[in-house]
Structure 1
């Protein structure tokens, strides 16, 4: 029974993500979530104490679903350690995140809502910071070129590229996006290496 409840809760949070992406934070109601999840009216209110709890759990769920699968991680572990490989990894990252369109749009809605809800802002700040720290730690252990500052700059740069792709898809072609990813890696990571930045781990 507990397992079934966990599955139902996850389905409701996934439905909340879809509602956020489609209707925005103001459209996120228990009734809308019930309808999206195709469950009886009143189901969501049995699982979540209030709308704030639903919002914060939606934010956490987006991050869960954006994590790379084991096959992707295994491929990354065996990849090369040069700038060209780094560029391909970043292109893959942009593509993977952008492919979860509703999740990323829902997360943008949550970030806007966080400007009005201190509790949500606290949760998102902690989650985004943990994600940034995890990316830096993974990078430093991987032996890829560049330092922690380069990782953070790339994250910020590529996040906005993803925003452009999802909100104004006709602004840039796929070729232009690929070129921008390559330029970001070269100028942020490569420039640091040229200045005598940290050498890749052996």
Structure 2
């Protein structure tokens, strides 16, 4: 006991003041770079959803795939809806990157080819997930909102590219750019959705023929046909 009557010595008081107990971190808080861990979880979520389908995907399965805990997953995605919504955002971010082109050097045929190439073996999971998202969007409002927002942005950007081509005389201008963009989206969406199901229909050679056909359809009418 010291002079003040306390059972704690001055030395101990000083130690407790200088070394306060640190509060516990959030449950499941990951160690390391946050963005890298989120990207890892997102990749796992895409793979699990592609393999298990929307219904079969779960936070637990995503955690198991990376060798982590469910707490680690919930640190980034509070629930399954939030996780799947993030998956949808990732899918559309890749589509948006397609349209990040210089309008002054427009080559719409190459642009559409990039769109179809996204369905190659390295990106198959994304398209399998996309099919799952479309199938459940009617009853999952959060997913529907992501699809609607990004689809509208995608069509708007494509319409701007088509409009530039019309001004340059490389794309027919007797049909509004917005309608042509909508038609192009419908064509490519249909092809992309069917490619994993009918791979023999979409050989590299036939894809080139399909793209050439699209180029013919949107090309300005020739002077001889007027």
Query: TM-score, structure 1 length as denominator?
Result: 0.77
For CA contacts below 8 A with separation 6 or more, give which structure has more relative contact order.
Answer: 1
Q: Does 1:29 align with 2:55?
A: no
Deviation at 1:4, TM superposition (A): 2.0
Deviation at 1:2, TM superposition (A): 11
Distance in 2 between residues matched to 1:128 and 1:37, nearest whole Å: 31
Matched-pair contact (CA < 8 Å) for 2:46–2:129: yes
Deviation at 1:59, TM superposition (A): 0.2
Deviation at 1:77, TM superposition (A): 4.9
Distance in 2 between residues matched to 1:56 and 1:41, nearest whole Å: 18
Q: Which residue number corresponds to residue 119 of structure 2?
A: 98
**CA spacing shift, 1:171–1:69, aligned 2, 3 Å:** closer
Q: Secondary structure at the match of 1:150?
A: helix
Structure 1: gaps spanning 5 or more residues: 80-84, 197-202
Please, which of 148, 171, 174 is the counterpart of residue 145 of structure 1?
171
Distance in 2 between residues matched to 1:112 and 1:34, nearest whole Å: 25
Moved more, 49-58 or 120-129: 120-129
Highest Rg: 1 or 2?
2
Distance in 1 between residues matched to 2:150 and 2:115, nearest whole Å: 19
Q: Which residue number corresponds to residue 126 of structure 1?
A: 149
**CA spacing shift, 1:119–1:35, aligned 2, 3 Å:** same
Moved more, 30-39 or 138-147: 138-147
Please, which of 1, 4, 11 is the counterpart of residue 40 of structure 2?
11
Matched-pair contact (CA < 8 Å) for 1:12–1:37: yes
Distance in 1 between residues matched to 2:195 and 2:98, nearest whole Å: 23
Q: Which residue number corresponds to residue 184 of structure 2?
A: 154
Q: Which residue number corresponds to residue 42 of structure 1?
A: 71
Q: Which residue number corresponds to residue 113 of structure 1?
A: 136
Structure 2: gaps spanning 5 or more residues: 1-29
Task: Please list, as runs of the form range in 1=range in 2, the aligned pairs for 1:33-72 lying within 5 A after superposition.
Answer: 33-68=62-97
Distance in 2 between residues matched to 1:22 and 1:52, nearest whole Å: 17
Q: Does 1:73 align with 2:96?
A: no
Give the number of aligned pairs: 185
